[in-house]
Chains A and B, each alone.
Chain A
Amino acid sequence: MSADPSRRRWLQAAGASLAGLWLAACNKLTENPTSAGVLKSAEGLTRRVQRLVTNRTALAREFTPADISPDFRPNGSTNPQDPAYQAHVQSGFADWRLVVDGLVERPLTLSLADLRRLPTRSQITRHDCVEGWSSIAKWTGASLGPLLDMAGLKPNARYIVLHCADSLEETLDGTGQYYESIDLIDAFHPQTILAYAMNDRPLPVPHGAPLRLRVERQLGYKHAKYVMRLEAVADFAHIGRGKGGFWEDRGYEWYAGI
C-alpha cells in the first residue's frame, strides 16, 4: 500500500471527478428523452407481467379492526381551497352530485344518498403511498362495477377517468386539477369502490370528502380524492397533459401496482 500523500491526493481527486461525472451522466440520462424512454419501457413490462401472474379478481389483503391506523396520514390535497368545493363543504355536501358520463348509454347524476343505496362494500385495507409508507383504514362505499353497469358502458370505453374537485397545483391552463384514470380490469375489481365512509364515519375532508376511489392493488396516488365526475373514455390523451393522471403528467407511472 502506498502512503505517498501526492498519490493519495491524486486518487481522491480522480475519485471525486469520477463520482461527479457519474452523477452528471445519470442526471443527463434522466432528462434525455431517448434514455428516459428506455427506462420507461420497464413500466409496460411490469404491468403486463403483474397482470399475467395475477388473477383479475385476486384480492388485496384485508385486515382486522385492530390493525386500523390511528395515525393515517392524509397526503396531496388535504383541504382544497377551490371555491366550488368550499361551497360544498359549507352546505355539508347537500347539493353535491356525482356525474357519470362519457362513453355510457345512460349518463347518471347521483347524490350521496343515491350512492348509499347502491351495492356497498366495506373493507379494511392498507394504503401504500408511493413515498413508501403504509396506513390501514376501513373503507365503505359503492362498488364501482355495478355502478358502471347501471350507466351501461359503450363498447369502445376502455378507461374510467375520475375528475376531482381539487387543484393540487396552480396552473393557467387548468392542468393542475387532480384527476386519475383506471382501466376496466381495475374498475370492475370487487374491491374497487367509491368510498363515502372511512372507519365507519363520513369520509373526512383531508381524506377526500365526500367521495374517493379505492383501487386496492395500486399505490396511493391512484386513489383519487374529492371525486366529482366519472368519465368513460376510449383514451385519455386529451385530458390534462395526456398521461392519465395528475401525477402521471408529472412523471409517475400510470400503472402503480408496484
Chain B
Amino acid sequence: MTAAATAAARERPRKVLVHRHAAATRLTHWVNVLALAFLLMSGLQIFNAHPALYWGAKSVFAHPWLAMDAADKAGQPIGVTTLAGHRFETTGLFGWSGKPGMGEPRGFPAWATVPSYRDLADGRRWHFFFAWLFVLNGLAYLILSLINRHLQRDLWPKRWQLRPAHVWHEIVTHAQLKFPKGEAARTYNILQKLSYLAVILVLLPLMLATGLTMSPGFNAAAPWLLDLFGGRQSARSIHFISAALIVLFVVVHLIMVVASGTWNNIRSMITGRYAIEVDDVARGDARQGDAR
C-alpha cells in the first residue's frame, strides 16, 4: 500500500490510493450482483404466473392488495394495476405489454423477466439455482467478514456517528451531493453504514426467510415462520415488498456511485484500490476521488 501510495503521490500530489475493499468483499459483492439480478428477473417471471398479492394464509381472489391485470377499454386491451383498491392504467408496463400488435396480458413486461417469454417452470429453475448461489455467497460473506473484522470494523457504526446532529449533517450533505473527503473518505459514512447494514442484516435475510415460508415442504420443518410473517400469502407479499426495497437500494446505491466518482468506486470494488485526496481542497468542488 505504501509503494502504491508513494507512486500515486508522485503523479498526482493530492491523491493517494488506499486499500478500500478486501478480496472477500469484492468477490462476494459481484457474485451477489449476479445472483440478485437473476433472482429479481426470475422472481418477476414467477410473480407473472399469478400477478396478485394478498395478506394472510390464503388468497381471497376478490381482494388482492396489489394486482396487475389486462382489461378492455373501448375494444382495446389495456393494462390495469390495482393497488389498495385504487385503479391505475399501466398499459405497456404492468398488466398488458409487448411489441405493437404482439401485446399480451402479463404482470411485468418481457424485458424484466427471465426467460423473457412466459415460462413459469424455467423461471423457477433460474430462481432456485440462484437462490442457492445467493445463500452460499451470503454465508461466505458473513463468515469472512466476521473473521477479517469487516463487519465490526468497517460497517458497525461508531457511537459518535449515531448522534442525531451527525446523522442529520450527513443527510444534508448527501442531499447536496457533497461527500466526505480526505481522511474522512477512508471509512464508510454513517448513511452508508446504516443502509448497508439494513440490506445485509435485514432485507436480504428477509428475502430468504419469506422465500422459505412460501415452501410447503419447509413449512412442515419450520411452521413458526408462518406465524412470524402472518401466513404464506403474507410471506409472498413481504417477499415482493422487500425485493422492491432492494431495487430501491440498488438505484440509490448506483446514483451515489456515480455522484461520488464512478470509476474510483468501480475500481475500488474490482482491484480494491480507492483514491482519496489527502490535502483538503479549499475550493467548493465537493467531488472527491475523481480519477479523471
Q: Which residues on A are within 8 Å of B, measured CB to CB?
A: 19, 23, 26-27, 30, 36, 38-43, 45-46, 50, 53-55, 58-61, 63, 67, 69, 71, 73, 126, 128-136, 216-219, 247, 250-253, 255, 257-258
Contact = CB atoms under 8 A, between A and B. Distances in A.
B216 A128 contact: yes
Q: Which 10 A-B pairs have the closest CB atoms?
A: A257-B217, A251-B121, A54-B221, A133-B59, A132-B50, A131-B50, A42-B129, A258-B215, A131-B49, A58-B220
Contact of B220 (A19, A59, A253, A255): A59
A242 to B, nearest CB: 16
Nearest to B223: A61
Interface string B116-131: 1101111011101101
A85 B88 CA distance: 45
A218 B61 contact: no
Nearest to B60: A71
A258 B60 contact: no
Given A45-B132, A60-B216, A252-B124, A26 B49 contact: no
Contact of A26 (B50, B116, B214, B233): B116
Contacts of B116: 23, 26-27
Given A41-B129, A67-B58, A134-B57, A26 B217 contact: no
B60 A257 contact: no
B125 A39 contact: yes
B36 interface: no
A63 B58 CA distance: 11
Contact of A218 (B47, B62, B117, B217): B217
Interface of B: 41, 46-47, 49-50, 52, 54, 57-62, 110-111, 114-117, 119-122, 124-126, 128-129, 131-132, 214-221, 223, 226, 232-233, 236
A253 B124 CA distance: 9
B7 to A, nearest CB: 31
Contacts of A135: 58-59
Contact of B215 (A19, A23, A50, A250): A50
24 contacts: A26-B115, A26-B116, A26-B126, A30-B126, A39-B122, A40-B125, A42-B125, A42-B131, A42-B132, A43-B125, A53-B218, A53-B221, A54-B218, A58-B221, A59-B220, A126-B57, A130-B120, A131-B49, A131-B120, A133-B233, A134-B57, A134-B59, A251-B122, A252-B124
Contact of B233 (A40, A134, A218): A134
Contacts of B217: 50, 54, 217-218, 255, 257-258
A61 B226 contact: yes
Nearest to B53: A132
B111 A19 contact: yes
Contacts of A218: 216-217
A39 B232 contact: no
Contacts of A134: 57-59, 232-233
A23 B236 contact: no
